[in-house]
Amino acid sequence: MSLLRDNLQCRDFVKSGAFKGNNPAEVVQSCDITFSCVADTTAVKDLVFGNYGVLQGISKGKCYVEMSTIDEETMQDVAEAITARGGVFLESPVVGSRVPALEGQLIILAAGERKLYDECYSCFEAIGKKSLYLGADIGAATRMKLIVNMVMGTVVAGLAEAMAMAEKVGLDQEDVAEVLSVGALSCPTVIHKSQAILSQRYDPHFPLQHQQKDLRLALLLGDKVEQPLYVASAANELYKKARRLGYGESDISAVYRAASN
């Protein structure tokens, strides 16, 4: 069973044969394993700790899988609250955007109860091309996801600056994109985001506001362990500018608008 916060999405699931609960507590009470994937820390806290939330439905033996990308402290708080009530917890944030999700090509990063991971494996196979169990330490999967998205954010920010500079120095951006697509830097992210910049179409495969949120969380993680993050810090400022320009709900490639403005 999955937790959805959007009524339209719920309607689509019901049309496909799913049953709709009136609140998170009712959903958790109705199933053995509940999967949750929402936008941010605030949404996770609301689902778990709010009125008629997950905690009010959890009981001994009920399993809860949190797939959202949030800070590790909140993930650990949720895990402690679930297990304190006899529940079983697994964190499993996913790597991938809209198209990989639609094609069942996500990467699932998991940490927590190994037995629950094994029980969820068939579900993970249905939505992903690879799942990794990173151990019992709650927070390990979240740390991995933040590092991966930190790399993603810095790469796309660098690409945006390169495309902006190419235009300023009189180069054809299409030529730049072609060179990048056939050289050592060729990868799906560079190819797809280059094309988005060229077409100036920023349909949200991965919303820019979520990328900036993940960069912010990565920077907080760096502060915690006293790891300097010079490049990620600079990239974060570019995404913040793009959000101020109104591109928060656009694809992360819209960071180009901040680089070229």
3 pLDDT more than 60: no
Q: How does the average pLDDT of the chain come out, rounded?
A: 95
- Catalytic residue selected from 60, 62, 115, 145: 145
> What pLDDT is attached to residue 4?
53
6 pLDDT more than 80: no
> What pLDDT is attached to residue 204?
96
pLDDT band at 234 (very low <50, low <70, confident <90, very high): very high
Q: Where are the alpha helices (DSSP H) in the chain?
A: 7-15, 24-30, 41-49, 72-84, 98-102, 114-127, 140-168, 173-182, 188-199, 208-224, 230-244, 255-260
> What pLDDT is attached to residue 179?
98
> What pLDDT is attached to residue 17?
86
- Tens of pLDDT, residue by residue over 28-39, are 999 999 999 999
Is 241 considered catalytic here?
no
> What pLDDT is attached to residue 13?
82
> What pLDDT is attached to residue 12?
83
What percentage of the chain reaches a pLDDT higher than 70? 97
What 8-state DSSP symbol labels residue 248? T
| Residue whose pair of structure tokens reads 């009189």 in the numeric block | 170
- Tens of pLDDT, residue by residue over 186-207, are 999 999 999 999 999 999 999 9
- Tens of pLDDT, residue by residue over 82-94, are 999 999 999 999 9
> What pLDDT is attached to residue 213?
98
- Tens of pLDDT, residue by residue over 221-230, are 999 999 999 9
What is each CA distance from 21 to 32, 53, 56, 59, in whole angstroms? Answer: 14, 12, 14, 17
| Residue whose pair of structure tokens reads 């992210």 in the numeric block | 189
Strand partners, 65: 35, 90
- Tens of pLDDT, residue by residue over 96-126, are 999 999 999 999 999 999 999 999 999 999 9
209 pLDDT more than 90: yes
Pick the closest to residue 37 from 73, 88, 78, 91 (CA basis): 91
For 106, the enclosing helix (H) or strand (E) is: strand 106-112
pLDDT band at 11 (very low <50, low <70, confident <90, very high): confident
> What pLDDT is attached to residue 162?
98
Give 171's contacts (C-beta < 8 A, 6+ positions apart): none
Pick the closest to residue 14 from 2, 29, 30 (CA basis): 2
Domains of the chain: 2-138 (3.40.50.720), 143-260 (1.10.1040.10)
Pick the closest to residue 193 from 209, 206, 210, 175 (CA basis): 206
